[in-house]
Amino acid sequence: MPVPSAAPLAATASGGGAVPRHVAIIMDGNGRWAKARRLPRIAGHRQGIEAVRRTVEGAPTLGIEVLTLFAFSTENAKRPEDEVNDLMGLLRHYLRSEIGTLHKNNVRLRFIGEYRRLNPDLVELLESSAERTRLNTGLTLVIALNYGAQDEIVRAMQSIAADVAAGRLDAKTIDAALIDRRLDTADLPPPDLVIRTSGEQRLSNFLLWQAAYAELVFTDQLWPDFDTASLAAALAEFATRERRYGGI
């Protein structure tokens, strides 16, 4: 369901309604934002970083405990090499310029996906950033890098299969809770709300297992234009939903 305009709903979201603990966002529309302004795609990605900054700052003020951002998918690696290099360069810049502020603001940073397959210098930066903020107790900011949900589930199944083959695990004891513990998001609550910007209405291989009972909100707004008011509007829409988890 598309989100209505943000301004009249911001107060509602911060009022007394249900607030999701975990919000996940598919950040889409950087390229279209740039194309509409006759700018190179990298300009859209740069503005997308500004939207990340605004959203990370705004999330705790709205009561969100965990914010997961889909930054780079396994499929994104098929894009032109120059664009991939630009994206990784922006990620380096964001971490180097923002890690001090994130730490000061008590944000705990972590990464999911096959990010260790990225360039070694970037992997070192990612892991040192996560380690620096590991003991923080405020917002948990999860960045999905080189992430695909199908790949994540396959890796979890391979881990379980190896334990069964080695006799460390009885196949009859495999249940949803065990699979949860083998996923990249182990120890995080499942997302209550998944937001996708730019008008597309699909999950695109993002948190397929974890989002089984998540509410979905789609907005036509392009990611570079997203801000705290946009997030508040999505939360206001979430507060109107009745979540029955298969019950009556």
225 catalytic? Reply is no
Residue 25: phi and psi, rounded to 5, are -130, 130
* Residue 32 annotated as binding site: yes
List C-alpha distances in Å: 114 to 44, 47, 71, 180, 216.
Answer: 25, 25, 12, 17, 25
* Residue 244 annotated as binding site: no
Active-site position among 28, 184, 192, 227: 28
* Residue 225 annotated as binding site: no
In order of start, what are the domains of the chain with their CATH numbers? 18-238 (3.40.1180.10)
76 catalytic? Reply is yes
Residues 6+ apart with CB under 8 A from 110: 130, 140, 141, 142, 143
- pLDDT tens digits for 78-131? 888 888 998 999 999 999 999 999 999 999 999 999 999 999 999 999 999 999
- Specify whether the CB–CB gap between 223 and 197 falls below 8 A: yes
- pLDDT tens digits for 37-87? 999 999 999 999 999 999 999 999 999 999 999 999 988 888 888 889 989
As a whole number of angstroms, the distance between CA 184 and CA 110 comes to 10
Tell me what pLDDT residue 34 has.
97
Q: Rounded to 10 degrees, what is the CA torsion of 53, 235, 196, 199?
A: -110
Reference 235, options 87, 22, 26; nearest CA is 22
